[in-house]
Amino acid sequence: MLIGYARVSSSDQSLDVQVEQLQQIGCEKIFRENASGKDAERDQLNALIDFSREGDIIHVMKVDRLARNTIDALQIADSLAQKGAGLVFHDLGNVDINSDVGRVIYTTISAFAEMERKRILQRCNEGRERAKAEGRHLGRFPDKQLHQRIQELAEDGMNKNRISQELGCSRTTVYKVLKPIQMQ
Protein backbone atom coordinates (compact mmCIF):
# COMPACT_ATOMS: atom_id res chain seq x y z
CA MET A 1 0.00 0.00 0.00
CA LEU A 2 1.22 3.51 -0.76
CA ILE A 3 0.95 5.68 2.34
CA GLY A 4 1.67 9.40 2.60
CA TYR A 5 2.75 11.63 5.46
CA ALA A 6 2.26 15.41 5.36
CA ARG A 7 3.18 17.83 8.13
CA VAL A 8 3.27 21.56 8.70
CA SER A 9 4.53 23.27 11.83
CA SER A 10 1.90 25.90 12.51
CA SER A 11 -1.81 26.47 12.05
CA ASP A 12 -1.26 29.31 9.57
CA GLN A 13 0.48 26.91 7.16
CA SER A 14 -1.38 24.67 4.72
CA LEU A 15 -1.02 20.95 4.08
CA ASP A 16 -2.73 21.27 0.69
CA VAL A 17 0.38 21.21 -1.54
CA GLN A 18 1.90 18.17 0.20
CA VAL A 19 -1.42 16.30 0.21
CA GLU A 20 -1.99 17.03 -3.48
CA GLN A 21 1.51 15.79 -4.36
CA LEU A 22 1.00 12.61 -2.31
CA GLN A 23 -2.34 11.99 -4.02
CA GLN A 24 -0.69 12.38 -7.43
CA ILE A 25 1.84 9.71 -6.45
CA GLY A 26 -1.08 7.41 -5.71
CA CYS A 27 -1.07 7.31 -1.91
CA GLU A 28 -4.18 5.46 -0.74
CA LYS A 29 -3.94 6.76 2.84
CA ILE A 30 -2.41 10.06 3.93
CA PHE A 31 -1.57 10.94 7.52
CA ARG A 32 -1.84 14.70 8.06
CA GLU A 33 -0.30 16.56 10.95
CA ASN A 34 -0.03 20.08 12.24
CA ALA A 35 2.81 19.84 14.76
CA SER A 36 6.40 20.88 15.27
CA GLY A 37 8.99 18.57 13.75
CA LYS A 38 11.22 18.90 16.79
CA ASP A 39 8.91 16.61 18.74
CA ALA A 40 9.21 12.95 17.77
CA GLU A 41 6.04 12.11 19.71
CA ARG A 42 3.43 13.18 17.17
CA ASP A 43 0.00 11.55 17.07
CA GLN A 44 -0.26 11.09 13.31
CA LEU A 45 3.37 10.01 12.95
CA ASN A 46 2.81 7.34 15.61
CA ALA A 47 -0.44 6.32 13.89
CA LEU A 48 1.45 5.99 10.59
CA ILE A 49 4.10 3.76 12.15
CA ASP A 50 1.41 1.62 13.84
CA PHE A 51 -0.62 1.40 10.61
CA SER A 52 2.26 0.43 8.30
CA ARG A 53 2.72 -3.21 7.33
CA GLU A 54 5.27 -5.27 5.44
CA GLY A 55 5.42 -4.19 1.82
CA ASP A 56 3.94 -0.73 2.42
CA ILE A 57 5.81 2.25 0.99
CA ILE A 58 5.67 5.48 3.00
CA HIS A 59 6.01 8.62 0.87
CA VAL A 60 7.13 11.95 2.31
CA MET A 61 7.73 14.97 0.10
CA LYS A 62 10.68 16.39 2.09
CA VAL A 63 12.99 14.95 4.75
CA ASP A 64 12.34 17.77 7.22
CA ARG A 65 8.61 16.97 7.19
CA LEU A 66 9.34 13.69 9.00
CA ALA A 67 11.99 14.77 11.54
CA ARG A 68 14.14 17.75 12.49
CA ASN A 69 17.03 15.88 14.04
CA THR A 70 19.14 12.99 12.88
CA ILE A 71 18.46 10.65 15.80
CA ASP A 72 14.67 10.93 15.46
CA ALA A 73 14.90 10.55 11.70
CA LEU A 74 16.92 7.36 11.96
CA GLN A 75 14.69 5.91 14.70
CA ILE A 76 11.59 6.50 12.56
CA ALA A 77 13.29 4.89 9.57
CA ASP A 78 14.35 1.92 11.73
CA SER A 79 10.80 1.47 13.07
CA LEU A 80 9.45 1.31 9.54
CA ALA A 81 12.27 -0.96 8.34
CA GLN A 82 11.58 -3.42 11.18
CA LYS A 83 8.00 -3.66 9.93
CA GLY A 84 9.25 -4.27 6.39
CA ALA A 85 7.93 -0.92 5.12
CA GLY A 86 9.85 1.25 2.68
CA LEU A 87 10.40 4.98 3.15
CA VAL A 88 10.75 7.29 0.16
CA PHE A 89 11.59 11.00 0.28
CA HIS A 90 10.84 12.81 -2.92
CA ASP A 91 13.36 15.57 -2.32
CA LEU A 92 16.07 12.85 -2.29
CA GLY A 93 15.30 11.62 -5.78
CA ASN A 94 12.76 8.96 -4.72
CA VAL A 95 15.44 6.79 -3.09
CA ASP A 96 14.17 4.25 -0.55
CA ILE A 97 16.21 5.17 2.51
CA ASN A 98 16.17 1.62 3.78
CA SER A 99 18.68 0.76 1.04
CA ASP A 100 22.40 1.21 1.81
CA VAL A 101 22.82 4.25 -0.44
CA GLY A 102 19.51 5.69 0.73
CA ARG A 103 20.57 5.36 4.35
CA VAL A 104 23.76 7.34 3.78
CA ILE A 105 21.90 10.07 1.91
CA TYR A 106 19.15 10.18 4.54
CA THR A 107 21.60 10.42 7.45
CA THR A 108 23.47 13.26 5.78
CA ILE A 109 20.34 15.23 4.87
CA SER A 110 18.88 14.69 8.35
CA ALA A 111 22.05 16.09 9.90
CA PHE A 112 21.72 19.20 7.72
CA ALA A 113 18.05 19.59 8.69
CA GLU A 114 19.04 19.43 12.36
CA MET A 115 21.78 22.00 11.82
CA GLU A 116 19.35 24.34 10.03
CA ARG A 117 16.87 24.10 12.92
CA LYS A 118 19.62 25.06 15.37
CA ARG A 119 20.63 27.99 13.16
CA ILE A 120 17.02 29.22 13.01
CA LEU A 121 16.80 29.13 16.81
CA GLN A 122 20.13 30.90 17.10
CA ARG A 123 18.99 33.69 14.75
CA CYS A 124 15.73 34.07 16.70
CA ASN A 125 17.61 34.33 19.99
CA GLU A 126 20.02 36.88 18.50
CA GLY A 127 17.07 38.94 17.29
CA ARG A 128 15.44 38.88 20.73
CA GLU A 129 18.72 39.90 22.41
CA ARG A 130 19.18 42.77 19.93
CA ALA A 131 15.61 43.95 20.54
CA LYS A 132 16.17 43.87 24.31
CA ALA A 133 19.44 45.80 23.95
CA GLU A 134 17.61 48.43 21.89
CA GLY A 135 14.99 48.71 24.61
CA ARG A 136 12.13 47.36 22.52
CA HIS A 137 9.26 45.64 24.28
CA LEU A 138 9.01 41.87 23.84
CA GLY A 139 5.85 39.93 24.55
CA ARG A 140 2.36 41.11 25.30
CA PHE A 141 1.60 44.52 26.71
CA PRO A 142 0.01 44.56 30.18
CA ASP A 143 -3.78 44.91 30.43
CA LYS A 144 -3.93 48.11 32.46
CA GLN A 145 -7.67 47.86 33.05
CA LEU A 146 -7.30 44.35 34.44
CA HIS A 147 -4.40 45.43 36.64
CA GLN A 148 -6.41 48.37 37.98
CA ARG A 149 -9.35 46.11 38.77
CA ILE A 150 -7.06 43.62 40.58
CA GLN A 151 -5.70 46.43 42.74
CA GLU A 152 -9.21 47.70 43.52
CA LEU A 153 -10.46 44.27 44.59
CA ALA A 154 -7.35 43.71 46.73
CA GLU A 155 -7.88 47.08 48.42
CA ASP A 156 -11.48 46.04 49.12
CA GLY A 157 -10.07 43.03 51.03
CA MET A 158 -10.72 40.24 48.52
CA ASN A 159 -8.13 37.43 48.65
CA LYS A 160 -5.92 36.66 45.64
CA ASN A 161 -7.57 33.36 44.76
CA ARG A 162 -11.03 34.94 44.73
CA ILE A 163 -9.74 37.88 42.62
CA SER A 164 -8.44 35.49 39.97
CA GLN A 165 -11.77 33.65 39.90
CA GLU A 166 -13.77 36.89 39.80
CA LEU A 167 -11.77 38.38 36.92
CA GLY A 168 -11.08 35.15 35.03
CA CYS A 169 -7.31 35.56 35.12
CA SER A 170 -4.56 33.42 36.56
CA ARG A 171 -3.43 33.69 40.16
CA THR A 172 0.07 34.32 38.79
CA THR A 173 -1.21 37.51 37.15
CA VAL A 174 -2.81 38.61 40.42
CA TYR A 175 0.40 37.95 42.35
CA LYS A 176 2.52 39.81 39.77
CA VAL A 177 0.25 42.85 39.88
CA LEU A 178 0.07 42.97 43.68
CA LYS A 179 3.71 42.14 44.44
CA PRO A 180 5.11 45.66 43.85
CA ILE A 181 2.28 47.15 45.94
CA GLN A 182 2.90 44.78 48.86
CA MET A 183 6.62 45.53 48.83
CA GLN A 184 5.98 49.24 49.50
69: nearest Cα among 118, 34, 137, 138: 118
Of the two residues 44 and 73, the one the predictor is more confident about is 44
Higher pLDDT, 182 or 179: 179
Per annotation, catalytic residue among 9, 36, 79, 99: 9
Between 72 and 40, residue with greater pLDDT: 72
184: pLDDT strictly greater than 70: no
Give the other-Cβ count within 10 Å of 66's Cβ: 26
**Helical (H) or strand (E) element with 156:** none
CB neighbour class for 154 (10 Å; exposed up to 12, middle 13-18, buried from 19): middle
Q: What is the mean pLDDT of the chain?
A: 87
Length reported for the chain: 184
Is 2-127 assigned to CATH 3.30.2010.10? Answer: no
Give yes or no for residue 4 having a pLDDT over 90: yes
Domains of the chain by residue range? 2-127, 144-183
CA 170: distance to chain centroid? 26
**Residue bearing the bigger pLDDT, 100 or 30:** 30
Q: List 32's β-bridge partners, or say none.
A: 6
9 has catalytic annotation: yes
